[in-house]
Structure 1
Amino acid sequence: TAAATASDLKADRSLLDEVVSKSKAAETTSAADDALLASAQASLTDSSWLTVFNRSNLDHYSSKIGHERKALGDSKTLTGDYVLLATFYQSFFDALIDFDTVGNKIEASDFQGALAGVSTLQTDLGKALQASSAPGLPPQVHQFIVDFQTFATDEGKLLAAVNSSDVSAGQSLSPKVTADVTKLDSYDFTKIGTDIASYYTPLIDDYNSEISKANSM
C-alpha cells in the first residue's frame, strides 16, 4: 500500500471533523428518542389493565419498543465512543501532517522552519496523548504516542544542533533519532486496527440484531 500523501492526510483530517460533529448530534438525538420510547413503553404497561383481550398486543408492542431502546442504547454508546475516538485521531492526524511538514522543511534545508514544525508536532502529540485512552484504542496506541514524543524531542535537539552548527551534538543525536524511527516502525498497525475493530464489532452487531428483532415484530 502506498504511503499517505499530505493531501490524503488533510482530507482524512477534514472527515474526522465531520465524524465528531455528526456523532455529537446523534448522541443528542438518541437520548431524546430513548426518552420518547421509554415513555411509550411505560404507557403500554400502565394501560395493560384496560382489557385482557388486548394484553397480547400491548405486550407485543412493548417488546418491540424494548428492542428499539436496546438498539438506541447501543447507538448512544457507539456515538459517544466515536466522538472520543475521532478526537484522538484529529490530534494524531495533525501530528502526522506536522511530521510531513518537518520532513519537507528538512529536504528544503530549511532547518529553522523544521525546528518550528517540531514544536507544533510536540503540541499536537501532547493532545493525542491526552486522548489516547479513547474507547477501543489498545495500550499500544498510547505507547506509540509516547515513543513519537521521544522522537520529536530528539529530532528537535538534532535540528537545534544543526542550526547552531554544533557538529559534536549532531553526531551524538543522529543515532538516537534513527533508533527512534526504527522503534516507531516496529509497531504493528494492522494488529492495532484489528484490536480496535474487535472492540466495536460486538456493539455494532448487537445494534443490528436489536433493529432486526424490532423490525420483525
Structure 2
Amino acid sequence: MQTQTATERKRTAGKQRRTRLRTLHDFTLRELEAWVEERGYPRYRARQLFHWAYQQLALDYDAMTVLPKAMRTELAGTLPISGLTEVRRRITDDGETVKFLFRTADDHFVETVLMFYPDRTTVCVSCQIGCAVGCSFCATGLGGLIRNLDAGEMVSQAVYAARLARERGRRLSNIVVMGMGEPFQNYDQVMRFVAIVNDRQGLGIGARHITLSTAGMVPFIDRLAEEPYQVKLA
C-alpha cells in the first residue's frame, strides 16, 4: 500500500480545506446577522444563534428551541455548528488537567488542554495542524506543517472546554494559544478567533485574559500592536 509523502499530505489537506463547510463557529456576530438576513430570516435570529452557541454552549440545533423548527432543520443541513468531533479526553489523576483529542472534518487530529486552577480556568488552544517552526523542545513540528486551523476550529476547542468547565461549576476565564502551531504563522485566523471569543455576546473572554505563545516574529509583534485587542504575548 502506498503512503503519502509530507508534501502530498499538505496538498491533500489544502484541497480538503478549501472545500470545508463553513460552520457557525466561523462567524462573527455581524457576519451572522448578514447571513441570516440573506436567507430571509429576521436579523435578531443571529443574536439568538450567538447566544445559544456561546452562552448556552449548544452543539446541537435541536437544543435551540427559541428558533422555529423549520429554521433549525435548515441550519442542521447547511451550517454545522462545529467542524470538530471529540475523539477522546484524558483526565489526570487529580482531575485538574483534561486533554482533548479532536478530529477535523478532513480527518486530521487536534489537541486541546483544559487546566483548572484555584483562581482561573484556562484552555490551551491549537492554531495549526503540525508546525513549520521546528522548535527543539516541541514535538509538534516533527512532521512539519499540514495546514492552518480556521478560526471556527479554534473557537470550537474553546467551546468544548467551556462546556466541561461549566459541568464542573466553573467558567472558562483564560485562553492561551499555546497548543499545536505558531500563532503568528496563522495570524489572520488567530485574530479572527480572538475577535469571536472576545465578543461580549460570545464567550466574553477579556483580551487581557487571552495569551498568544509565539517563537517571536518581530513583524507580527509590531502588527499585533496595531490591533484593537490588548492580548498578551508569551
Shorter-chain TM range is under 0.3
TM-score (norm 1): 0.24
User: Which of 1 and 2 has greater Rg?
Assistant: 1
Higher RCO (Cα < 8 Å, 6 or more apart): 1
Greater strand proportion = 2
More helix by share: 1
